[in-house]
Structure 1
Amino acid sequence: MNTSLLPTRHWLLAAFLLLATPALWSCNSQTTLQKQLSEHQDQLKQIDDDTIQSYLRRNNLLTKATKTNSGLYVVNLVDGAGAAVKTGNQVRMKYVGRFLSNGAHPASTGYPASYGDPRYPQGAIFDNSADNRTVCGCAVFTAGTGLTAGFGEGLLLSRVGDRKLLLVPSRLAYGPNGTTGIPTDAALMFDIEILEIL
C-alpha cells in the first residue's frame, strides 16, 4: 500500500466536506424559505379576500360583484354597448386607482388588513388618469401587455362604454415587491371607464 497518498486523500476528503456543507445547508434554507413564502401567500389570499368582501359589504356591492377564477372582483357600474376589448387593442380610458388595503401583514390577528403602512391610507388615490394633463383626462393602454395581472384581466373583461370597479388582490397587483408609491402586499381598487378602442 502506498502511504504517500494518504495525506492527499485526507486533504481531498476534508476539502470536499468543507465545500459540500454550505451547499447542503443552502438546500435546506431554500426549502424553508419556499415554505415560508407559500404560507405567506396563502395567508394573504385570505386577507385580501376578506378585505375585498368587507369593502363590498360596506358599500352594498356584494351582490353586484363577480369573482373571477384568479380572485379578481369586478363590479359593473355601467354596461357599455361598444366593442369588446381584445389583447393587443390600444384602449383609451379614464381610471382612478385607490388603496383597498395599505399593505396587509399575515401575522396580524385582525382581519381584514388590520396592520399596514399608515403612509398609504385605505381609500387614498395613488394614481388618476385625470392627473396626466390631457384634454380628456384619460390614458391609453395596450390590452394584455405591460399591466399588472388584475388590471389587465379587468381590461380584457370590458367593452367600450363600460364603467367598472376592479378590486384587485395584492398577488394580482404588485404583490410582495410593491412599487414606487405602493407598499408591498397592497390590495388595490380601480374605477375604470372605457372610452374607445383606437
Structure 2
Amino acid sequence: MKNILLHSRLLVLLAGLLLAAPALWSCNTETASTKVLREHEEQMARIDEDTIRNYLTRNNLIATATRTNSGVYVSTIVAGNGTPVTAGKQVRVKYVGRFLSNGAQPGSSGYPASFGNPSFPQGSIFDNSADNRTACGCAVFTAGNGSTKPGFDEGLQLLRKGDRKLLLIPSRLMYGSAGTTGIPPDSALMFDVEVLEVF
C-alpha cells in the first residue's frame, strides 16, 4: 500500500513538472521580434554614446561633463547655488532643445548605416521654451512625476536654481525607435537648460 501511495505521488509530481515545463522554457525563449528590438536598442546605445562623446570632445566639454549610469551626460555652463531640483518639486526653466543626431540608423556592424533624416539637421532646434508665449519665455515642469521623458526628467533632477547646463540624452531615454511629431526615430537630443526657479 505504501508503494502504491508513493508511486501515485511521484506520478502526480512528474505530471505537474511536465505541465509546467513549457512555461518554464518560454521564460528563457526570446522571440524573433524581441531579439531584433533588443539588438536595435543595443546598437543605438553604442551609437548614441559615440555621438554624445564626439559632440563633447569637439566642443571641449568632455573633461568637465559627467555621465549618469543611464547614459545622460551633463555639462555645466553656469553653476547655480540655489535649491536643488528633487522629485515632486516644480521647476521653472528656459530651455532650447537641439538634435545631436537626427535618426541615425544602425548598420550590421553596430555603427550607423546612415545618419538620418536631412529634414532634421544635426544641431537644429526642435523645441524652445521661448516659443511657449509666456511672459518669461519659460516652461514649468514637475520633477519625477513622469510628465516628461525619462532622460529629461533625470537631467532636471541633477540641476539646482541658477544652473545653466547642457543635458545630452540618448535616444532610448527620449523618444526611442518610435520618434514623435517633429523628431525622427532614434534621435539623441541635447537641451540647454537654465533653472529660473524651484518651488
What is the TM-score normalised by the length of structure 1?
Answer: 0.82
Q: Deviations over 1:1-35 (max 9, x none)?
A: xxxxxxxxxxxxxxxxxxxxxxxxxxxxx711111
Partner of 1:96, secondary structure, is: strand
Aligned pairs (5 A) from 1:115-194: 115-145=115-145, 146-194=147-195
Shift of 1:144: 1.2
Partner of 2:190, secondary structure, is: strand
Question: Mind listing any 5+ residue stretches in structure 2 that lack a counterpart?
Answer: 1-29
The amino acid that maps onto 1:161 is G
Q: Deviations over 1:43-84 (max 9, x none)?
A: 001000010011011101010111100000110111111011
Partner of 1:136, secondary structure, is: coil
Aligned pairs (5 A) from 1:60-79: 60-79=60-79
Shift of 1:184: 0.5
The amino acid that maps onto 1:81 is N
Shift of 1:104: 1.2
Shift of 1:136: 1.0
Partner of 1:51, secondary structure, is: helix
| Residues in 2 aligned to 1:113 and 1:136: alpha-carbon distance in whole angstroms | 42
Partner of 1:88: 88
Change in CA separation of 1:112 and 1:74 when aligned onto 2, cut-off 3 Å: farther
Q: Deviations over 1:134-186 (max 9, x none)?
A: 12111111111211111100100111001110000000111011111111010
Aligned pairs (5 A) from 1:99-110: 99-107=99-107
The count of residues paired between Structure 1 and Structure 2 equals 170
The amino acid that maps onto 2:192 is D
Question: Mind listing any 5+ residue stretches in structure 1 that lack a counterpart?
Answer: 1-29
Partner of 2:135, secondary structure, is: coil
Task: After the TM superposition, list the runs of 4 or more consecutive aligned residues in structure 1 that deviate by more than 3 angstroms.
Answer: 108-114
| Residues in 1 aligned to 2:57 and 2:104: alpha-carbon distance in whole angstroms | 19
| Residues in 1 aligned to 2:99 and 2:112: alpha-carbon distance in whole angstroms | 13
Does the CA-based 8 Å contact 1:74-1:165 persist in structure 2? yes
Shift of 1:197: 1.5
| Residues in 2 aligned to 1:116 and 1:108: alpha-carbon distance in whole angstroms | 16
| Residues in 2 aligned to 1:37 and 1:129: alpha-carbon distance in whole angstroms | 33
Shift of 1:107: 1.4
RMSD: 1.8
Change in CA separation of 1:171 and 1:113 when aligned onto 2, cut-off 3 Å: farther
| Residues in 1 aligned to 2:175 and 2:164: alpha-carbon distance in whole angstroms | 23
